[in-house]
Amino acid sequence: MQLLQLNNVSMPLYTLAVLDQHGVGRPVIQALMYREDQSHIEMFLACAKEWAGPDAFRTTVFMVDKAQAEISALKALFTDNTILLCRFHVAKAFVQQIKKSNITSDEQEQLYKVLINDITDNVHQSVKDITSR
């Protein structure tokens, strides 16, 4: 799911996109959300599931940013699926925390290198796990 903040109505826009058989991302539903809590996200996902039909959501993997409400809603509606966190959002949050900390720039650089190596290793392992199913 992708979240974009709309300035003129101050409501977040949620977009549910899928990868087609050619690996191309395609938006399938969008909604302006009144609240970004689990119950509203569940309503959005339930409507998407209903409108698309029972065979449309035969997915095994969802990717989200770091929002716990999104993760909880997906777990509630799609119980047997894998939920991955977006590398960009994880890295961004980590870097923000590093910058706020009281450590030297050399220590910050070391932590950043560890983060990049760890993300790369985890992505490779996740791809292996998913493709071996």
Instruction: Write out pLDDT tens, residues 68-83.
Output: 999 999 999 888 888 8
Average pLDDT, the chain: 80
Domain of 110 in residue numbering reads as: 87-133
CA 64 distance to own-chain centroid:
1
Closest CA to 76 of 119, 40, 104: 40
Q: What is the pLDDT of residue 132?
A: 67
Instruction: Provide the whole-model pTM.
Output: 0.68
- The token pair at 49 is 């599931």
Contacts of 44 (CB under 8 A, 6+ apart): 14, 16, 29, 31, 33, 73
Percentage of residues of the chain with pLDDT beyond 90: 13
What domain count does the chain have? 2
35 and 96 in a single domain? The answer is: no
CB 101 within 8 A of CB 111: no
Does 116 score more than 80 pLDDT?
no
In terms of domains, do 63 and 111 share one? no
- Do 42 and 29 meet the contact criterion of CB atoms below 8 Å apart? no
Same domain, 65 and 93: no
Q: Beta partners for 83?
A: 62
Instruction: Please tell me whether residues 36 and 100 are part of one structural domain.
Output: no
* pLDDT attached to residue 127: 62
